[in-house]
Amino acid sequence: MNLVPRPVPHLPRSFRWGVATAAYQIEGAAAEDGRTPSIWDTYSHTPGNTAGGDTGDTACDHYHRMPEDVALIKGLGVDTYRFSLSWSRLQPHGRGPANPKGVAFYDRLVDELLASGVTPWVTLYHWDLPQELEDAGGWPARDTAYRFADYAALAHDALGDRVAHWTTLNEPWCSAMLGYAYGDQAPGRRDFPAAVRAVHHLLLGHGLAAERVREAAHTRDHPLELGITLNLGTATPEHDTPEDRDACRRADGLGRRVYLDPLVKGVYPQDVVADLAAHHGAELPVRDGDLETISAPLDVLGVNFYRGTLFSGRTEDGALQDERGRPVTRAVERDLPRTAMDWEITPTALTDLLLSLQKEYGVPTVITENGAAFEDTVGADGEVHDADRTAYLADHIDAVAEARAQGADVRGYFAWSLLDNFEWSYGYAKRFGIVRVDYDTQLRTLKDSAKWYRDTIRLTREA
């Protein structure tokens, strides 16, 4: 474990260093200043959906502590802060006019960041659809894509004079699959064909929003770097057999290619389309012109990486089909160190991923999230000696540098997360922060990993 801060090789001076958060996970003030409920308010307030019944009502109280949090960010010496806008705070009914108090909050945040020398990087949508839009059909309904484009234009209108970095969506796979197919996240529906419609409408929403934001930036002569963030991993066959390779093809198809192929190449992968019809009775509701909209050029691809996965095409009993007669796509557990999420720690998969993205898609990348939850303890000295998290960050930053050395055009790394926060269905039980939050007092304490990150950034810049 390389826990002593040192300069990371192969990273250019322009390499972007950041920390990331998301609105519902940190802001709190859920019912203040005109904000209406999002699907996450409804979902977290429904008994049984989150660990301990936790909700984002207060979270890290960032809405009221924003200047203190920006000071923390500045103190870390990062150049970029990635945060998301709460749609139901900015445009409470999911349509119609902006909420002046919502705009005022993000105005203050952006101004505070700029005054602190930190570049704001805005995510328009990190999973928190206004509930009213879910009631009107949510992402399985095509209209939501148009509502999203209007919201994007409204947000850019408010902040685009000072914010150049815009991400449309965070992890549409999670919105579509966890939200509409598996019910593990808001809105908690379990309807696979609806989830597949959501996939297409999220991508369409991205494309329509990108068009509007690009046009507005161009007309007003504002600088713009626009992208989308996907959660990406690697799929490796357990054995070099046709069935294990086919399991990887399916996992990669629904996890990665069904997003990246239309975004970058303007086509949906035919094997995925065929599998969806054959095995799920599901169809992507594509209309004429949609794929041109979706495939408008991206300036940057945001990559959220947590782990790589080994796949088998057989059940544990060796069968090739599951009980419903579908081919088996089974994640195989390995004897590897794990995080508190029970996720395997696989840094070399990040190098492999970045190199394969470079080869297959060729879009510049930024790691918009990477990090780990561990069972932190506060020592007798009041400090959090999170060597496990520090090692995780160190190994993954090395993996990024290695990918760069081998030719991947990766331009930045943002640690997930600045603060311990509301980890969705896991509530506050899982801590991803490099800064500890005491939820009783809202006291923030830099963990050892935060100090290591700060010193590593400084040493790398100076090298």
Chain residues binding ligand FCB by CB under 6 A are 22, 25, 170-171, 174, 231, 304, 369, 416, 423-424, 432
Collect all residues with Cβ–Cβ distance below 8 Å to 259 and sequence separation of at least 6. Answer: 172, 173, 199, 203, 230
Catalytic annotation, residues:
171, 369
- For residues 184 and 425, is the Cβ–Cβ distance under 8 A? yes
How many whole angstroms separate alpha carbon 430 and alpha carbon 41?
19
Q: Measuring CA to CA, which residue among 120, 209, 125 is closest to residue 161?
A: 120
Q: Which is nearer to ligand FCB, 154 or 169 (CB)?
A: 169
Three-point CA angle 245, 251, 253, nearest 5°: 100
Q: Which is nearer to ligand FCB, 392 or 424 (CB)?
A: 424
| Closest distance of CB 368 from ligand FCB, Å | 9
How many whole angstroms separate alpha carbon 186 and alpha carbon 175?
8
CB atoms within 10 A of CB 345: 18
Q: Measuring CA to CA, which residue among 355, 354, 357 is closest to residue 264?
A: 357
| Closest distance of CB 334 from ligand FCB, Å | 20
How many whole angstroms separate alpha carbon 155 and alpha carbon 90?
8
Q: Which is nearer to ligand FCB, 22 or 349 (CB)?
A: 22
Output the residue with the shortest Cβ distance to ligand FCB.
Answer: 22
Query: Could you tell me the CA-to-CA distances from 348 to 15, 368, 373, 389, 403 in Å, in that order?
Result: 20, 18, 19, 16, 9
| Closest distance of CB 215 from ligand FCB, Å | 28
- For residues 160 and 217, is the Cβ–Cβ distance under 8 A? yes
Sign of CA dihedral 275, 129, 426, 443: positive
| Closest distance of CB 381 from ligand FCB, Å | 28
For residue 294, with 0-12 CB atoms within 10 Å meaning exposed, 13-18 middle and 19 or more buried, which class applies?
A: buried
Q: Which is nearer to ligand FCB, 369 or 388 (CB)?
A: 369
Q: Which is nearer to ligand FCB, 374 or 416 (CB)?
A: 416
The one-letter code for the residue type at 114 is L
| Closest distance of CB 24 from ligand FCB, Å | 9
> What would the two tokens of residue 281 be?
């009775």
| Closest distance of CB 174 from ligand FCB, Å | 6
Q: Which is nearer to ligand FCB, 121 or 432 (CB)?
A: 432
Q: Which is nearer to ligand FCB, 286 or 341 (CB)?
A: 341
| Closest distance of CB 430 from ligand FCB, Å | 8
> What would the two tokens of residue 231 be?
């959660």
CB atoms within 10 A of CB 455: 15
How many whole angstroms separate alpha carbon 295 and alpha carbon 301?
13
